[in-house]
Chain A
Amino acid sequence: MHGIDYLLNALTPFSLLIALGGVGLGIVIGALPGLTATMAVAVLVPFTFGMPPAQALIALGAIYTGAIYGGAYAAILLNTPGTPSSIATTFDGYPMTKKGDGDLALTLACLASVVGGLVGALCLIAFAPPLASFALRFGPIEYFWLALFGLTLIASLNEGPLLKAMIGGCLGLLLSMVGVAEVGGDLRFTGGSQTLLGGIDLVAALIGLYCIPVIIELVASNEEHVEGNGKVRGYRLTEALLQIWKSKFNILRSSAIGTVVGVLPGAGGSIASLVSYSEARRASKTPEQFGKGAPDGLIASESANNATVGGGLVPTLVLGIPGTPPDAVILGALLVQGIRVGPQLFTQQSEIVFTFMYGLILATLMVLPIGLLFGRYAYRLLISVPKALLAPTVIFLTVVGSYSINNNTDDVIHMAALGGVAWVLARFGFTASPIVLGLILGNIAEGGFVQGYIIGAAKGSVFNEFFSSYISIGIVALIAVAMVIPFVKFVKNPRG
């Protein structure tokens, strides 16, 4: 069989229908704060057991794609990442909504998601085996350096003095260490509370840190929640397409970053979107606009997180190692279907795997009409809802969303507490983004460091172990480059 045959297989009415339904359901679940793409795939996976294998995979891929894109709705309209992958979308998406450009932001997010998703899916088709072998070269030390590289983004996400951002980053790192240590089993910073034994859930923390301060200010303020007299200006598709064309290098770079980060097991959409956002800001001629409603920031985040869908499936299908958490659920579904993952999958069961890949492309394309349609009505709904009704509804969503992560009321309390902390810190000039970055990367950095240390100690040289691979040296070089510009800026203007 050839590519065209697989494409025709994926183009059957049944495949198209399940791709359409999967994308729609994924968008709805992903749009609800607290309900992640992993949950969307996990909840809907039993419905695929009765389907033929290729169609079951298409359905799961479509749900996953839809959910990742759906996370942008809450991020853009409510300043709450619907899924962790949409963290960076809040930085410019919500300011655009505040300025009355929420409709444009949603259309841009849709277009960027489609482009990013297509790049990821095409890379999956073209480069799956070589990309998977690259991912295998990443050990704990490489992850440690990668996490440190991620922490250099603090300088890019910083909206005030660099030192304040660094303090915020440290706070996030310390929050990530709360609970039982992964290596050694130490009980750290729980204050004797049993509810903190398992640590602080990332999604609950995200909801609290980003959403609660916005609600508090929304209620306290006498101004309307959206500027521009609440006008809806349609899809603004031409404007969005022109913007996408202007940002073509940004979108391609971000999609490539998203694909590569997706390939790395455990990294995921949140890191991909943050790295892409940072690189977009670094490359921009107007970096000062980032964080104030710059379309480039939104485009970078959304194209990168959707590119992780295809990227994450590379190690899942080739090696049987899930690239992202939803891939772990998809891997389970593959086993239920009797599909044996590994390099032989591409030769012995090529019909299934390639039909799925082409199906993923079709599902990504379906995000365009469904996303545009949903986006238009979601924005219209937001601006037509009175503030008196909006605030209680958003609080309700934060409560139910943070509860449903682990079906645990402790997560709701953590969310509320962190929300209060974030509001107080914002009053003192500390923004949420560096805290979140520390919270995300803390476990990866510490886990990698400790494991690398143990391996190095066993070999007799810890230092050599940390610089033993070309990948490690390459990432260390990137860290050095990433730190040069903020350092020079800091020396020139210590108050900046």
Chain B
Amino acid sequence: MINKKINKNDLIACLFFLLLGIWVVYQTEEFTFLGSVFPKVVAYVMIACSILYVLISYFFGWDKVSSLRGSTVKRFLIYLVIVAWAISINYLGFLISSLVFYFLSLLISGGDDLTVKKAFLYMVYGGFFIAVMYFIFVNVLSVPLPNSKLF
């Protein structure tokens, strides 16, 4: 049976890619001929596919919207931690940012059964792991991990 109920996710996504394609075509006007050919072709294909997808969905039925399972708050928080970790590494330095955000992500991913004792124990493991990796990267692999700019 054809699903006539519009999948808003698909519609929004196709609209986004349609606009992205138009923006790319607009941007290519500033490029040289050789620099613009490829992005322009790709953008036209993207625009065509987006329109075609909506038309096909309209006439042949839409995909059903899949529901999210699990905690949305946790999703948001853990991604926030990842972004903050990525940004802060330049300011706090590798060691401090790793220890701080490792602990925060441990708290978020721990769930209800994470007791204070377990959290402490895991943090000790984590701290040891970070220290070992720091030593390997800096002294064995000669990767200069960033130092703090603030302290």
Contact = CB atoms under 8 A, between A and B. Distances in A.
B89 A188 contact: no
A423 B111 contact: no
Interface in A235-291: none
A464 B141 CA distance: 50
A486 interface: no
A477 interface: no
A401 to B, nearest CB: 10
A387 B17 CA distance: 36
B43 A174 contact: yes
A409 B70 contact: no
A177 interface: yes
Contact of B32 (A160, A184, A387): A184
Interface residues of B, number: 78
A174 B89 contact: no
Contact of B87 (A393, A413, A454): A413
A450 B37 contact: yes
Chain A interface size, as a band, is: 35 or more
A166 B71 CA distance: 31
Contacts of A189: 24, 27, 39
A163 B145 CA distance: 42
A453 B32 CA distance: 14
B86 interface: yes
Contacts of B108: 219, 391
Contacts of A417: 83
Contacts of A220: 68-72, 74-75, 78
Contact of B79 (A164, A216, A413, A445): A216
A399 B137 CA distance: 13
B82 interface: yes
B100 to A, nearest CB: 11
Interface in A376-392: 386-392
B27 A416 contact: no
Nearest to B44: A170
B83 A449 contact: no
B12 A170 contact: no
Interface string A143-170: 0000000000000000011011011001
Contact of B83 (A400, A416, A446): A416
B70 A217 contact: yes
Contact of A450 (B38, B78, B81, B146): B38
A392 B102 contact: yes
Given A163-B53, A222-B70, A391-B109, A416 B34 contact: no
A450 B41 CA distance: 13
Contacts of B52: 163
A164 B110 CA distance: 35
A456 to B, nearest CB: 12
Nearest to B81: A395
B13 interface: yes
Given A389-B126, A400-B133, A494-B56, A181 B89 contact: no
Interface stretch (A118-126, A354-362, A426-434): A426-434
B9 interface: yes
A194 interface: no
A161 B110 CA distance: 36
A394 to B, nearest CB: 9
Contacts of B68: 220, 427
Contacts of B114: 388
A33 to B, nearest CB: 12
Interface in B91-138: 94, 98, 101-103, 105-106, 108-111, 114, 118-119, 122, 125-126, 129-130, 133, 137
A183 interface: yes
Interface of B: 9-10, 12-14, 17, 20-21, 24, 27, 30-32, 34-39, 42-43, 45-46, 49-50, 52-53, 56-57, 60-61, 63, 66, 68-72, 74-75, 78-79, 81-83, 85-87, 89-90, 94, 98, 101-103, 105-106, 108-111, 114, 118-119, 122, 125-126, 129-130, 133, 137, 140-146
Given A181-B34, A186-B35, A189-B39, 12 more contacts: A35-B141, A166-B49, A174-B20, A218-B109, A222-B111, A388-B106, A389-B125, A395-B78, A403-B89, A404-B137, A404-B143, A450-B37
13 contacts: A167-B17, A173-B38, A388-B119, A391-B108, A392-B109, A395-B101, A403-B146, A404-B137, A404-B141, A413-B87, A429-B66, A454-B34, A494-B56
